[in-house]
Structure 1
Amino acid sequence: MLDLSQLRSFVAVEQMGSFTLAAERLGLGQSTVSQHIQRLEAALGRRLLARDTHKVMLTGDGEALLSHARAMLSIEGQVQSLFKSHSLRGSLRLGVSEDFVTSQLPAVLEDFVRSHPSVDLELTVALSGVLYEMQDNGEIDLVLAKRRLGDARGKLVYREPLVWLARDPERVLASGPLPLIAFPPPSVTRVIALEALGRNGVPWRIVCTCGSLSGLTAAARAGMGVLVQPRSMAPSGLKEIPAGKLPVLEDVEFVLVPRKGADQALVSALSEDILQKVRGLRSA
């Protein structure tokens, strides 16, 4: 029978890409996590992880094990929850900004769902401004979204630089008025980009508007124009336009904003998971 502690260490290493960060997340010593992986590999007779100087990656056998490991840990969480009178129960309405969903949300939610199987999540994906409006109307309990520098709402998760992106920066910059690909209002990145261009007298025109990041990314990959995104969330296939070619963009901050009157136990549990997971991913 496979040891659940060993599987837990295996999944944590895969999530964090590091034995050190996995140990911190689990509250274990790094040597303990290493022993768990060694014993798991010995029990299965297969090498599960490939290590180099930069990160830890799954081997083919590790990839084959991962979904089964997650399923076993999920069942463990459900059983523990069933017999814990103090386990969290109920529903929580979570709003997440469009760009965060495609990059980091799966990793953020995985541990929470496993640890709290009796909590039902209702997920809303939209622009940050739309999410704040919905929360003001009582429709969302917790928002994970962007705010501008100087905005005091919410608890800071991390700060991120915005960058200009294009498939072919030289061609786009030589095309006359700068062709922009942008979210519709109310969009934080749109406002920041237009303000920066206006302050510096750069002529522009919006060539594509879409409320979906996948749509904007497709337009940018097709070479239609320039897209503004947080640097760590830059879609593949696009290049960052070199410094000095376009105005410097203001940073944005990702924050957690709870709704007054929401279930504080549920909000606090998910907020803590998000803070711990996102900061761990960014330090990896």
Structure 2
Amino acid sequence: MSSFPSIDTELLRTFVAIADNGGFTRAAKMVNRTQSAVSMQMKRLEEDVLQRSLFARDGRQIRLTAEGQVLLGFARRILKLHGEVFTTLREPHMIGAVRIGTPDDYVMRFLPGILSRFAQAYPLVQVDVHCESSLQLLQRQDLDLTIVTREPGKEIGQLLRQERFVWAEANGFTPHEQNPIPLAMFNTDCFCRDWACNALTSLDRPYRIAYTSPSLSAIMAVVSAGLAVTAQLQSLITADMRILGEAEGLCELPVANIMLLRNASSQGPITECLAEHIAEGFKL
């Protein structure tokens, strides 16, 4: 038998909540404990169980130490396996519904595989998908899980993926050579549109917003027809398009963060299982 002490899964659950929510206060709400109770849990985890410092404080901000980052990966895997044991042995035929919100960007690229694998595991669960912009989704309180795109420094929730925005146009067309450059972008409540416009302004490249839509498929249809340039996450660029860069006189765009938010008031085995499938799906 191993002489190592066991780690209570509740300690790991609280630890992950702190990492996902950026602090003890928000984590306390997620795990339905007081802030002092959360602090005591982490003191026990650091001093009694692992004997390692997991958190470093920078003013009011809390970040994970190198040891904390290592533990976070293990903690997610342990909690996932822990959940699978119970859902497989105690609730092999989960029945219910779960509501997820996502920008239109990720519906075709990521959701088909995620929902297919989830349906195979839990065929009796109803999944309601709501597609809106990230800003609109952040204002909603009725969703169990929400996928949003966030700017650097504004991350909340669990990081699913980091990805750079890129310029793109259709193969065989050169709308980037037009003056002003015609752009096809999301509607005004999208920070990536601001990134694109600010970048062109800094380059002193005249541009015009030629096409707007809340739908990614509509934007991509315009771009595929050779009518405009767009700026989108690199993984969303299709085979009939090419990425533009310095050779075309365009600068590099920033990296965005794709985050998963959990509704603290509607957590349960169904929601958590889908969250795990989403996290795995965005790694592919």
TM bin, normalised by shorter chain, reads: 0.5 to 0.7
Return the offset for 1:87: 4.8
Change (3 A) 1:98 1:188: farther
What is the match of residue 133 of structure 2?
127
What is the match of residue 248 of structure 1?
252
Q: State the alpha-carbon separation in 1 of the partners of residues 195 and 149 from structure 2.
A: 12
Two-structure CA RMSD over aligned residues (Å):
2.3
Q: State the alpha-carbon separation in 1 of the partners of residues 172 and 156 from structure 2.
A: 35
The TM-score with structure 1 as length reference comes to 0.63
Return the offset for 1:82: 11
Letter in 2 for 1:206: I
What is the match of residue 277 of structure 1?
281
Residues 103 and 131 in structure 2, CA contact (< 8 A), matched pair in contact too? yes
Change (3 A) 1:260 1:238: same
Q: State the alpha-carbon separation in 2 of the partners of residues 171 and 82 from structure 1.
A: 54
Q: State the alpha-carbon separation in 2 of the partners of residues 98 and 132 from structure 1.
A: 14
Return the offset for 1:169: 7.9
Letter in 2 for 1:217: M
Q: Secondary structure at the match of 1:261?
A: helix
Counterparts of 1:171-250 in structure 2 under 5 Å? 171-244=174-247, 245-250=249-254
Change (3 A) 1:260 1:169: farther
What is the match of residue 4 of structure 1?
none
Q: State the alpha-carbon separation in 1 of the partners of residues 153 and 230 from structure 2.
A: 24
Q: Secondary structure at the match of 2:153?
A: coil
Return the offset for 1:88: 3.4
Change (3 A) 1:91 1:170: closer
In structure 1, list runs of 5 or more residues that go unmatched: 1-80
Residues 128 and 188 in structure 1, CA contact (< 8 A), matched pair in contact too? no
Q: State the alpha-carbon separation in 2 of the partners of residues 273 and 82 from structure 1.
A: 15
Q: State the alpha-carbon separation in 1 of the partners of residues 241 and 262 from structure 2.
A: 34
Q: State the alpha-carbon separation in 2 of the partners of residues 273 and 85 from structure 1.
A: 17
What is the match of residue 67 of structure 1?
none
Letter in 1 for 2:177: A
Change (3 A) 1:200 1:82: closer
What is the match of residue 145 of structure 2?
142
What is the match of residue 154 of structure 1?
157
Q: State the alpha-carbon separation in 2 of the partners of residues 82 and 231 from structure 1.
A: 37
Letter in 1 for 2:106: F
In structure 2, list runs of 5 or more residues that go unmatched: 1-86
Q: State the alpha-carbon separation in 1 of the partners of residues 101 and 194 from structure 2.
A: 21
Change (3 A) 1:188 1:113: farther
Q: State the alpha-carbon separation in 2 of the partners of residues 168 and 140 from structure 1.
A: 39
Alignment partner of 1:114 out of 90, 112, 120:
120
Q: Secondary structure at the match of 2:137?
A: helix
Letter in 1 for 2:180: P
Q: State the alpha-carbon separation in 2 of the partners of residues 82 and 248 from structure 1.
A: 46
User: How many pairs are equivalent?
Assistant: 197
Letter in 2 for 1:156: L
Return the offset for 1:89: 3.1
Letter in 1 for 2:99: R
Return the offset for 1:170: 7.1
Q: Percent identity?
A: 25
Q: State the alpha-carbon separation in 1 of the partners of residues 258 and 89 from structure 2.
A: 36
Change (3 A) 1:95 1:247: same
Deviation digits for residues 152-203 of structure 1 (CA, Å, limit 9, x no counterpart): 2121011011110012587322211121101102123212212222333332
